[in-house]
Structure 1
Amino acid sequence: MWKPIALLLALTLAPGVAMAAAAPNVSAAFGNTIFSTYPDGRHGRLWLKADGSYDYRGRRNTPSSGRWHIKGDKVCLRQSRPKAIPFTYCTTAPTGGVGATWKAKAVTGEAITVTLVKGIAPLR
């Protein structure tokens, strides 16, 4: 019985062991646009809603929607429309305020630049 306790204590006190991070607060994204820029110059727009749903317009301007949740330090999306997709895509969560920019990977694996833009960004 002492071995699990000793292991837990050792992991807790060991230098370099990452502690569990608090879940990111994505509330700054509500009512705003998560604007993704792809390597080809096109843009995607994601709108998270406080009720756990989302709407998305892809870089080819195709709409989709579904549900989102937080898993660790990621925001995870599961598409239900126009066609349910049998997997969940998780990416870096928007944790800064309006104007925050970060790097992420698209569901295609491409490197993208993401910015939280004030309001509902218009389609181009």
Structure 2
Amino acid sequence: MRFAAPLVLALALAASSASAAPPIEAAFGNTVVSTFPDGKTQHIWLDSDGGYTAAGRRGQPSSGRWSLKADEICLRQLRPFPAPIVYCTPVPKDAATVAWTSKALNGQPVRLQLVRGRFPQ
């Protein structure tokens, strides 16, 4: 699925305090990199206004809106087409967590990492 790429990357939001809804400020101005078992990567860039842009495994661009629900981040793709689902996934609570393993929308394992700076936009 074309919209699965940016949705998975949202897992990489590092939190900076232990509140009811995890803060995501650590991701603003930085890049969330998702690496799949075949070595291909995806990138997502979150904006403080609730928007995101992304580049999938083949470099295809997408964008949409993100929101927080308790300890999960939920993404809704709007471009290149409105996705028929909203994807929600847990957000790490530990500010020291900058890399971890999770699963993509299709169940495939991914390694997620929050990297300083916005690249390769």
What TM-score does the superposition give when structure 2 sets the normalisation length? 0.77
Amino acid at match of 2:23: N
Distance 1:74 1:60 in 2: 27
* Larger Rg belongs to: 1
Q: What is the aligned partner in structure 1 of residue 91 from structure 2?
A: 93
Q: What is the aligned partner in structure 1 of residue 47 from structure 2?
A: 49
1:4-83 equivalent positions in 2, closer than 5 A: 22-83=20-81
How far did 1:122 drift?
1.7
Distance 1:99 1:37 in 2: 16
Change (3 A) 1:98 1:56: farther
Amino acid at match of 2:116: K
Question: Structure 1 stretch 114-123 or stretch 22-31: which is displaced more?
Answer: 114-123
Change (3 A) 1:103 1:50: same
Distance 1:92 1:42 in 2: 23
How far did 1:98 drift?
8.1
Q: Is residue 30–residue 50 contact of structure 1 (8 Å, CA) maintained in 2?
A: yes
The gaps in structure 1 that reach 5 residues or longer are: 1-20
Amino acid at match of 1:101: A
Distance 1:42 1:49 in 2: 24
Distance 1:120 1:66 in 2: 17
How far did 1:97 drift?
5.0
Change (3 A) 1:111 1:66: same
The gaps in structure 2 that reach 5 residues or longer are: 1-18
Q: Is residue 69–residue 77 contact of structure 1 (8 Å, CA) maintained in 2?
A: yes
Runs of 4+ in 1 over 4 A off after TM superposition: 94-99
**Any idea what the Cα deviations from partners look like across 1:32-67, whole Å, max 9, x if unmatched?**
001100111100001110000000111111110000
The alignment covers a number of residue pairs equal to 103
- State the Cα RMSD in Å: 1.9
Amino acid at match of 1:87: I
SS of 1:28's partner is helix
Please point out which of 101, 104, 107 is paired with 1:103. Answer: 101
Distance 1:98 1:122 in 2: 24
